[in-house]
Amino acid sequence: MNPDISADSIEHGVRETNRRVKIIRPPSFSPLGLLSNIVLLAQYRDLLLTLSAHRVKVRYKQSVLGLFWAILQPLSLMLIYTVIFSLIAKMPSEGAPYAVFSYVALLPWTYFSTCVTNSASGLVSHSQLVTKVYFPREILPLSYVIAALFDFLVASTVLAGLLVYYHVGLTVKALYALPIILVLTMFATSVAFVLSATQVRFRDIGLAMPLLLQLWMFASPVVYPLNSVPASFRTLYLLNPMAGLIENFRRVILMGTAPDFYSLSISTLIAVILLPATYIYFKHVEATVADII
């Protein structure tokens, strides 16, 4: 040790260093700041749209089948379910051809499952971006939701072809499909917020998603009509928001009737409650996500 440096001077230097250290902690999210965060998100809308377009472009870039991949999943499932549940199990389809009966339900379900599956790993798969650049983190799961909506629109062209092939005409009631898809998007976004934020800490979610979604699908009226569910169990069954959304999408498109407002109102109420609640949860987790991702 340099004899000119005394113990007192070393201790004084340590104290000075300690005084110069400033710990910056991420601000905690307050529910009262919900509106300001939505305004901030709107300011980053160009980034949101750019990321969404990038997801679509990358997904189909240099693929042989191109956009056909967007319709391959619901179309292949329709063929499988038609053989198993119509030809073998003789599942009722409310007088409609089972192929179009199942496909019209697979459309919203595939949209939902794509949103949930892709957005669940949204934060984790972009860890380098999250830890180095500031932007509203909810842009990541939201970009997957918007990209999945594009796939939904592409897959809808097959539904149009099936309706023509089976001579099923649309009525003015089909316009109800627009608010139904809006509610579905709200619910899918809610689930995306929860899963993407939670998977940062618990990576098991990504591994469990295929099984959970498969169980969820069979707990929704995709391969069977809602009236197959016992009446005594139906109210509890409708607490699954996807049940009311899928059934009513099928009603307005395939049956040409108005939606069942009782089941639709349950799904809408749940989506309206969950969207702000899950957004608040996401913003709360966002404060520390860069430290643990």
User: Which range has the top average pLDDT, 29-33, 35-39, 233-237?
Assistant: 233-237
Predicted pLDDT at 195? 93
Residue 4 pLDDT greater than 60, yes or no: no
126 versus 45: which is more confidently predicted?
45
Residue count (the chain): 293
DSSP state of 224: S
pTM: 0.85
- Check if the beta carbon of residue 64 is closer than 8 Å to that of residue 148: no
Domain positions in the chain are 32-292
Predicted pLDDT at 286? 82
Predicted pLDDT at 99? 93
What is the mean pLDDT of the segment spanning 130-145?
Answer: 87
Instruction: Return the closest-CA partner of residue 285 out of 122, 55, 117, 115.
Output: 122
- Check if the beta carbon of residue 121 is closer than 8 Å to that of residue 210: no
Predicted pLDDT at 8? 55
Average model confidence (pLDDT) across the chain: 85
Residues 6+ apart with CB under 8 A from 143: 48, 51, 52, 54, 55, 122
Instruction: Determine the straight-line distance between the first and last CA of the chain, rounded to whole angstroms.
Output: 42
What phi-psi label fits residue 129: left (phi over 0), alpha (psi between -120 and 50 degrees) or beta? alpha
Structure tokens at 283: 């913003």
What phi-psi label fits residue 60: left (phi over 0), alpha (psi between -120 and 50 degrees) or beta? alpha
Residue 230 pLDDT greater than 80, yes or no: yes
CB atoms within 10 A of CB 277: 14
267 versus 9: which is more confidently predicted?
267
